[in-house]
Amino acid sequence: MSDHAETLCHKAKAGDISAASELVGLFYQRIFAYFRRLCGNDDDAADLTQKTFFKVWTSLASYQRRSSFSTWLHGIAHHVYVDWRRTNRAADSQSDEWWEARAAEGPSPFEDAAERDMAHRLFALVDRLEDRAKEAVHLHYYQGLSLHETAEALGIATSTVKYRLREALDFLRTHTTEAKLRPA
Amino acid sequence: MNDERIEQLLRKAPRSPAPAGLLEKLRTDIALPRRVETRPMNATEAVPFFRRWFPAISFSVIFLACILAIAVQTNQIAELKHENATLQTSAQNLEQLRRDNAEYQRLKAAHEELERLRRDFAELQQLRTEVAQLQTQAQEMEKLRAESQQLLAASRQQRQSSADADFFSRNDDALAKARAKAESLACVNNLKQIGLAARIYANDQGDVFPASFVAMSNVLSTPKLLICPGDKARAAAHNWQEFGPANVSYEFLNPGGSETNPYVLLTRCPVHGNVGLSDGSVWQGVGLGRSFTIAVKDGKQIFTPLNPPANASPFE
């Protein structure tokens, strides 16, 4: 997919509309899902997705292929989200019902109800992480970027990404253990 | 729950589907930059030569400029060091030349002084020779006188003529004149030697004459020179230990004076009127062929010759 995306990007830089359209088809759902988890509503996520691709087209000439197109795209999305958060408001917190609704829309990735409940608690805890750790978790775990790609998208060192992920995992492990010990 | 389990669950996070119509809207909003000619994948081949090599060329130019600047500055520093060394050498040579010049001037002055002393000594030798000749003539005259007296006595006895008596009387006058001239020349010789001794003393004592004749005992060969041959009332001392005021005929007129004024009288003979000047020259007294005046100024007797001959020595 990466090579295909690079080829499409090269054609889009040359002015190929069909290639650009195919690039949108490849990545828009991932970008929308990224914004949807962060913003908490569809409208803002769709709006930010549009802004992201608009910036992609205006900045396409400056794309130097130092990183993969996916990483470059997520970097733009990250900056769009940061700008939006500064100028608008804090993101809506995700509710457990929302996560349950997401899981019910398609085939469940979880093996059983217990795993699903645990996953829902984890996702809710991720929303409580501080922004820096949360952005790293979203890009690395939710969006599936590697550590290096996450670091490039966030514009920080890979070691910093590792440190933030370690912080996030410590937080999640601690709070999931407390939740287990707490009586129902 | 361990970290691996947490990571596993996080990676299974569900993805919210995009709303309907978003894809079409995004595709509609595609606004690509103006169409540009597709470049080959190997971009380095299409880049112009100068643009591709500009960083290397600019670095090389800057590097060469730095090397050139360093070389120029190093060369300038070397030249300045060379000039500095040359100037230091010249300064050392200049100092040496100054010392050599001072030494040369000192030696030149000493040479001139030596030449002057040699000339004085030659004159003295000439005077001695003349004195010796005169003494010889005087002895011959004594011998002639004795012979004349013998002849006169014989003639008186034999002839008893008055004409012969007049002849011998004239011979006595000539003999007296010759003796007086010889004594005057011997006196001049004495004054000359005294003047020379006084000048030698002054040269050693910072151009200052001795305070008395006794002070010249180291530079005057014998106290006999202090007695004028015409002074029959005084006798010469045999040595300086026996020397006293009665053993000197001459007057010492510039005791402790400066050698710098040559016309100041140094010695004078009261018998012949001969005077010795501070420059070592000796003038014969009035009545012996030369005339001069003596004026007293600042306690010194200043000598002024009257109509001196143009090419004659002072002591003639």
ipTM of the complex: 0.80
Inter-chain CB pairs, A–B, below 8 Å: 119
Gap from A139 CA to chain B (nearest CA, Å): 10
pLDDT digits (tens, 9 = 90+) for A69-122: 999 999 999 999 999 988 876 555 566 666 666 655 555 666 667 777 788 888
Interchain proximity A169–B12, CB inside 8 Å: no
Chain A, nearest residue to B16 by Cα: A33
Intra-chain end-to-end CA distance of chain A, in Å: 46
Task: List domains and CATH numbers for chain A.
Answer: 1-92 (1.10.1740.10)
Query: Helix A2-13 and helix A69-87: axis angle, to 10°?
Result: 70
Gap from A184 CA to chain B (nearest CA, Å): 18
Residue in this structure with the two tokens 């995306």, named with its chain if needed: A5
Query: Helix A158-181 and helix B3-11: axis angle, to 10°?
Result: 100
**Contact residues, chain B, for A175 at CB < 8 Å:** none
Residue in this structure with the two tokens 């020349």, named with its chain if needed: B185
- pLDDT at position A184 is 43
Q: Exposure string (b/e) for B287-303, b if CB count within 10 Å is 16 or more?
A: ebebebeeeeeeebbeb
Of A20, A115, A126, the CB nearest to B32: A20
Instruction: Report mean pLDDT in 10-residue bins for chain B, 316 residues.
Output: 83 82 88 62 64 89 96 96 92 89 95 94 91 88 85 76 64 85 90 91 89 89 90 89 90 87 87 87 66 75 66 47
Angle at B199 between CA B195 and CA B201, to 5 degrees: 115
**Contact residues, chain B, for A99 at CB < 8 Å:** 14
In this structure, how many other beta carbons lie within 10 angstroms of the beta carbon of residue A26?
16
State the Cα–Cα distance between residues A175 and A8, nearest whole angstrom: 44
Mutate to test the interface with B, among A28, A120, A146 (most CBs of B within 10 A): A28
Specify whether the CB–CB gap between A74 and A17 falls below 8 A: no
3-class SS of residue B296: strand
- Residue A95: name the closest of A74, A118, A123 by CA: A123
- Residue A60: name the closest of B26, B21, B36 by CA: B36
Interchain proximity B10–A42, CB inside 8 Å: no
State the Cα–Cα distance between residues B150 and A154, nearest whole angstrom: 160
State the Cα–Cα distance between residues B284 and B291, nearest whole angstrom: 8
Q: Which of A24-33, A50-59, B19-28, B47-56 is predicted least confidently?
A: B47-56
Strand-pairing partners, residue B116, are none
The backbone torsions φ and ψ at residue B160, rounded to the nearest 5 degrees and listed phi first, read 55, 35
The backbone torsions φ and ψ at residue B59, rounded to the nearest 5 degrees and listed phi first, read -65, -40
**Contact residues, chain A, for B6 at CB < 8 Å:** 122, 169, 172-173, 176
Gap from A119 CA to chain B (nearest CA, Å): 6
- pLDDT at position B312 is 46
State the Cα–Cα distance between residues A128 and A133, nearest whole angstrom: 10
On whether the pTM is more than 0.90, the answer is no
The number of helix segments (H) and strand segments (E) in chain B equals 5, 6
Intra-chain end-to-end CA distance of chain B, in Å: 148
- pLDDT at position A124 is 85
Interchain proximity A103–B14, CB inside 8 Å: yes
Chain A, nearest residue to B1 by Cα: A173
Q: Specify whether the backbone of A146 is left (phi greater than 0), alpha (psi in -120 to 50) or beta.
A: beta
- pLDDT at position A100 is 61
- Residue B301: name the closest of B250, B256, B259, B267 by CA: B267
Interchain proximity B16–A61, CB inside 8 Å: no
Q: Exposure string (b/e) for A43-54, b if CB count within 10 Å is 16 or more?
A: ebbbebbbbbbb
pLDDT above 60 (res A20): yes
Of B7, B16, B18, the CB nearest to A102: B16
Task: Say whether residue B29 is in contact with chain A using an 8 A CB cutoff.
Answer: yes
- pLDDT at position B111 is 95
Specify whether the CB–CB gap between B19 and A42 falls below 8 A: yes
State the Cα–Cα distance between residues A29 and A46, nearest whole angstrom: 10
Of B10, B27, B31, the CB nearest to A24: B27
- pLDDT at position A131 is 87
Task: Say whether residue B20 is in contact with chain A using an 8 A CB cutoff.
Answer: no
Task: Say whether residue B46 is in contact with chain A using an 8 A CB cutoff.
Answer: no
Interchain proximity A61–B23, CB inside 8 Å: no
- pLDDT at position A179 is 65
Interchain proximity B19–A102, CB inside 8 Å: no
Residue A23: partners with Cβ closer than 8 Å, 6 or more residues away: A5, A8, A9, A12, A69
Domain chopping of chain B, boundaries: 103-305
State the Cα–Cα distance between residues B190 and B275, nearest whole angstrom: 11
Of B13, B23, B33, the CB nearest to A28: B23
State the Cα–Cα distance between residues B9 and A114, nearest whole angstrom: 12
- Residue B282: name the closest of B176, B191, B210 by CA: B191
Residue in this structure with the two tokens 């830089």, named with its chain if needed: A13
